[in-house]
Chain A
Amino acid sequence: MEFVSHPHESRIADLLSDYADGVAPLETLLDRYNVSYQQVSELVDLADQLRSTLVEVSPSPQFVDGLLQELIGEQQAAALGWWSRIQAMPTRTKLAAGIGGITLTAGVLLITARSLSHLLGLTEREEAPGKAIA
């Protein structure tokens, strides 16, 4: 016989919890926690009532499937958010954005090209004096 030494209320709490969880038959638990049946009979009966009353319910399959489709659609729409926003813009706005982007890119390329050619130009002039002396 297992006996666990606990304060009285704590033992009853442990017993009731184990009983609800189906850890062991009631008789075993009464021995284990050194509690008499009379001390817990009403609460044990109540636990039995709860077990038979609180039973699992099922949502309708239509609800479950429908909500899943909505959520997945929502998730996919969020992932495409930035592209969807661009697509939703008026044509003039998209055109202006496109022209502005092209202009900006061309300007950057031009500056880069001029810088490169200036650098190349400097390199050539540095080599020239050496050749002239020779």
Chain B
Amino acid sequence: MTTPFTRDYGQADDAQLARWARDDAEAFGELYRRYVKKIYNYVFYRTNNHHDAEDLTARVFYRALAHIDSYTDRGVPFSAWLYRIAHNLVANWHRDNSRRQIVSLDEYIGNTLRSEAPEHVVEAGQDREALLEAIRRLPEDRQQLLILKYIERLPNAKIGEIMNRTEGAVKSLYHRTLLALREELAHYHHNPDKAETDDTSVQRE
């Protein structure tokens, strides 16, 4: 039987760490170190600003800590459990923020800088923004898939565990996601006019 003094946190797998984490702060700390950047990335691309990404990332880990006793590795890896917490919190965040659209300072600064930059830089920036905007208009599961595939670089099997789908379903969803994005971008290029904001934070009803 291991004690906190003999435990090798670095070598332990997630399931073992999760068991220890019920009464061992160091074990939970190790899990945190392994996943904080991944969860932050996931949340950042779902919210588009660092402030909310930090807030939601913290909430994810607080919730994980509060419910660590109820986690058991019955076919759901710890990473999948953590991503599901993140997914639910982000979904709630979007629901709570859907009425009021607040332009974050990041976006305002981005818009301002682009308007002062050389044309080719502006164009490349606009294409990037258009793509990010198109991604944010996708349904949540498709956004999640793109983040897990391109940022986390997870294989389809792992994505399937997190999203509770088969590998085949993940591939099919990815195909449909690309088709939907292509459509969104085509719509954007035909209607490039977007409302600009001229204040640091504007609430649109």
Contacts and interface: CB of A to CB of B under 8 A. Distances in A.
B54 A20 contact: no
Contact of A17 (B21, B45, B54, B156): B156
B93 interface: no
B62 A71 contact: yes
Interface string B31-48: 011001100110011000
A79 interface: yes
Given A17-B171, A43-B178, A59 B54 contact: yes
Given A20-B174, A43-B178, A55-B151, A75 B25 contact: yes
Contact of A57 (B23, B41, B175, B178): B41
Interface string B149-181: 111000110000000000000111011001101
B40 A79 contact: no
Given A54-B45, A67-B61, A75-B65, A46 B54 contact: no
B182 interface: yes
A58 B40 CA distance: 8
Interface stretch (A8-16, A85-93, A107-115): A8-16
Contacts of B53: 59
Given A9-B175, A71-B32, A51 B150 contact: yes
Contact of B151 (A13, A17, A54, A72): A54
Contacts of B40: 57-59
Contacts of A71: 25, 28-29, 32, 61-62, 65
Question: For the complex, would chain B's binding face be called helix, strand, loop or mixed by DSSP majority?
Answer: helix
A123 interface: no
Contacts of A49: 127, 131
Contacts of A27: none
A74 B62 contact: yes
A74 B54 CA distance: 18
A56 interface: yes
Contacts of B21: 75
B150 A46 contact: no
Interface string A30-60: 0000000000001100110111011111111
Nearest to B21: A75
A33 to B, nearest CB: 12
B103 interface: no
Contacts of B179: 43
A67 B57 contact: yes
Contact of B146 (A13, A14, A16, A54): A54
14 contacts: A12-B175, A13-B175, A20-B150, A21-B149, A21-B155, A46-B181, A54-B45, A56-B37, A57-B44, A59-B36, A59-B50, A67-B32, A72-B25, A72-B28
Interface of B: 21, 23, 25-26, 28-29, 32-33, 36-37, 40-41, 44-45, 50, 53-54, 57-58, 61-62, 65, 127-128, 131-132, 135, 146-147, 149-151, 155-156, 170-172, 174-175, 178-179, 181-182, 185
Closest 9 CB pairs of A and B: A75-B25, A13-B175, A54-B150, A59-B40, A17-B171, A72-B25, A13-B171, A43-B178, A53-B131
